[in-house]
């Protein structure tokens, strides 16, 4: 008998599935640009390699800076201010 995996996304694939959308990612999703000060929503896509944690799914954040091909976003979670580095693929204008 094998042991169950206890990885970060173990058992969460059903929450990340997009049943009503195609699984292919369009080029326009990859090359979209944001400016510092823009409001964005964190929308994890099915690309598991560089996905933000599902607890931030749907949160609204401010873009602080561009770092490589990703963006540094700042959001408030209760009394804490969090800074996340999120690829533009997982961001949507709010």
Domains located in the chain, CATH noted = 13-93 (2.30.30.70)
Give 41-87 pLDDT, tens digit per residue: 999 886 667 888 888 999 999 999 999 989 999 999 999 999 999 99
What are the angstrom distances between the C-alpha of 31 and each of 23, 61, 64, 69, 78?
18, 19, 18, 9, 32
Give 10-39 pLDDT, tens digit per residue: 776 666 665 565 567 788 888 889 999 999
Q: What is the pLDDT of residue 45?
A: 80
């Amino acid at each position: 008998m094998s042991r169950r995996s206890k990885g970060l996304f173990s058992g969460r694939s059903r929450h990340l599935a997009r049943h009503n959308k195609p699984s292919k990612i369009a080029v326009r999703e990859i090359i979209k640009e944001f400016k510092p000060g823009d409001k964005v929503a964190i929308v994890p896509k099915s690309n598991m390699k560089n996905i933000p944690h599902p607890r931030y799914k749907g949160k609204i954040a401010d873009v602080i800076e561009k770092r490589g091909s990703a963006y540094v976003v700042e959001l408030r979670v209760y009394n804490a201010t969090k800074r996340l580095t999120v690829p533009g693929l997982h961001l949507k204008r709010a």
